[in-house]
Amino acid sequence: MNKSLVTNLVALAFVLVGFLFDQAIVLSVGLFALSGAVTNWLAIHMLFEKVPFLYGSGVITLKFESFKASIRQLVMTEFFAAEKIDQVMALAKPQIELEPVIAEVNLSPAYDSLIEVIEQSQFGSMLGMFGGRDALEPMREPFINKMKQAVIDISHSDEFKTILDEKLFANSHIGGSLHNTVERLVDERLNELTPVMVKDIIQTMIKEHLGWLVIWGGVFGGVFGLIAALL
């Protein structure tokens, strides 16, 4: 169910009922609710898509290089730092399972970095109108879970396992060697990313949850409309 569409349709229904049946209070509630819902919907849309004549829209695409750099930093420092690889190798068996290690990694700093990129962009001031980073807080756990699952999927790939097997006993500096190999692979993969691909990745992770901003925009707008009509 599309939360944004349903909210806008309900608000529009209030407007039509209030106008057609000459109900001033209902009309005021509907207009304010529709205004709040549409404004929040437009703000969410502008986060991902470039809108002509609206400065700062399409921030995800505009900040493409920043997001790529953040992804690289996340993978190389949180998952595949040479020190962490050495810790795993110290207890290594012929078949190494990295999933338990990945599951325990704290990705909250990565999410905070993502929010900082958004806040420091042209979209930051508009986001502040809708509650700032607190409005995005419900997306922290979904973001962390999806990022961990994505890295787990990479660790299960045949290409990754082959590289791991080749490098595991290649020399005594296992951690550093594997770290360099993973770093090279990550750089190669990131170079294949396009702004649209980065936008789709982030959009898939958080857009569903941003729909609640539209709902609450309609609800609070309706409440303000009711107050305005009664005063």
Written as tens digits, the pLDDT of the chain (231 aa) is 578 889 999 999 999 999 999 999 999 999 999 999 999 888 888 888 888 888 878 887 788 788 778 878 888 887 777 777 666 666 554 566 777 877 788 878 877 887 777 777 766 666 666 666 776 777 778 888 888 888 888 888 888 877 777 766 555 455 556 677 788 888 888 888 788 887 787 777 776 677 788 888 899 999 999 999 887
How far apart are alpha carbons 97 and 229 in whole angstroms? 63
Residue 169 is predicted with a pLDDT of 53
The pLDDT score that the predictor gives to residue 172 is 46
Closest CA to 203 of 156, 155, 143: 143
- Dihedral sign of CA atoms 181, 186, 191, 192 in order: positive
pTM of the predicted model, to two decimals?
Answer: 0.52
Angle at CA of residue 63, ends 183 and 195, nearest 5°: 70
pLDDT at 142 (0 to 100): 82
User: In terms of C-beta density within 10 A (0-12 exposed, 13-18 middle, 19 or more buried), how is residue 214 classed?
Assistant: buried
CA angle 160, 164, 169 (to 5 degrees): 170
What is the model's pLDDT at position 227?
A: 92
The pLDDT, as a whole number, for residue 170 is 52
